[in-house]
A = this chain, B = another copy of it.
Amino acid sequence: MEELRLMASARSVGRAVKVGGKELKVIAAAPAAFDGLDLAFFAADGAIARALAPEAVQRGCLVLDKSSAFRMVADVPLVIPEINLEATRGHRGIIASPNCSTAVALMGLWPLHQAFGVQRAFFSTYQSVSGTGAEAVEELEAQVQAHVRGELMPRKVYPYQIAFNAIPQVDSFGADGYTGEESKMREESRKIMNLPSLKVSATCVRVPVVRAHSVAVTAEFERPVDLARARAVIAEFAGAELTDDPSKSVYPTPLDYTRKVKCGVGRLRRDSALDNGLSFWVSGDNLWKGAALNSIQIAEAMIREGIALTPSR
């Protein structure tokens, strides 16, 4: 028997949502609600994931979690199916989906790593406000509306005005001067690509874009890089779309990669500061590949490859 249950907090209980032509009522997320389910897609914050994921697992359910709660836990696979689907074998009931900026950046970096062996990566992000949540999208819109009316801009979510500005802070600061987002890009890249000593440095910046994150990537490789081969491996990679024709001003932009399954990779060039270096630009939908879509792709790929959904004991 097939059954889909939509769960949310008390605030949304009873709301009707149409899924595949059928109207479903939202029920309360609670331990017992997971009884009898095979798969649960968690798209809540870390605290809720920590409280409910073990309950779901106890009830025989595989949890695909998009929060940061379990990503760096040793026995939890952190997965981008185009990269490390094999890591899902032998899971213990929870599989984590990566941070949005990391997912987008690796859609370009992984195929290049396969070809040339990445040693070091520098990321500068151009992140959309939807990564912060619905209230941040509303804040940007309200600020733009106020600007047009010549009124003072309301400000609540971000520490600075985001309309017509750039804020070099995503998440809170650690003792090393890096933000949580920047540390995630380092740690999660290492775990997903299984390169524990990969050198990564990130600067994460919020820009007045509604949706889709972009990342300027400069990477140093073990082996000499060949630009034609680099373009070919990007074009062949399932998670990426090669959008790269500088002579015609063809490259990805966040607007063009909003609501796209694949991430766009362009501006590929030999790096002018590194011997075996490549620089590129990647744009991808932070709410799709950077979030729930990746969880769905994990489940689809596991089923397709016959990987057990029930946890190994």
A residues near B (Cβ < 8 Å) are: 120-122, 124, 126, 144-145, 147-148, 159-161, 164-169, 173, 176-178, 186, 199-201, 203, 205, 207-210, 214, 216, 218, 227, 246-247, 249, 251-256, 266-274, 277, 279, 281, 283
Q: Which of B144, B200, B268, B270 is within 8 Å of A148, CB to CB?
A: B144
With both beta carbons as reference points, the residue of chain B lying nearest to A145 in the complex is identified as B148
Determine whether the beta carbon of B164 is less than 8 Å from that of A255.
yes
Copies of the chain in the assembly: 2
Q: Closest CB of chain B to A67's CB: distance in Å? A: 23
Determine whether the beta carbon of B218 is less than 8 Å from that of A203.
yes
A251 / chain B contacts, CB cutoff of 8 Å: 168-169
Q: Closest CB of chain B to A237's CB: distance in Å? A: 20
Determine whether the beta carbon of B208 is less than 8 Å from that of A173.
no
A255 / chain B contacts, CB cutoff of 8 Å: 160-161, 164-165
A272 / chain B contacts, CB cutoff of 8 Å: 176, 178, 186, 199-201
Q: How far is the CA of A304 from the CA of B147 in the complex (A)?
A: 43
Determine whether the beta carbon of B176 is less than 8 Å from that of A249.
no
A147 / chain B contacts, CB cutoff of 8 Å: 144
With both beta carbons as reference points, the residue of chain B lying nearest to A168 in the complex is identified as B281
A216 / chain B contacts, CB cutoff of 8 Å: 124, 168, 203, 205
Determine whether the beta carbon of A203 is less than 8 Å from that of B279.
yes
22 cross-chain CB contacts under 8 A: A122-B273, A126-B126, A126-B207, A159-B249, A164-B209, A164-B255, A165-B209, A165-B253, A165-B254, A166-B209, A168-B251, A168-B253, A169-B249, A173-B247, A199-B272, A201-B271, A201-B272, A201-B274, A203-B216, A203-B218, A205-B216, A207-B207
Determine whether the beta carbon of B144 is less than 8 Å from that of A267.
no
Q: How far is the CA of A167 from the CA of B250 in the complex (A)?
A: 10
A273 / chain B contacts, CB cutoff of 8 Å: 120-122, 199-201
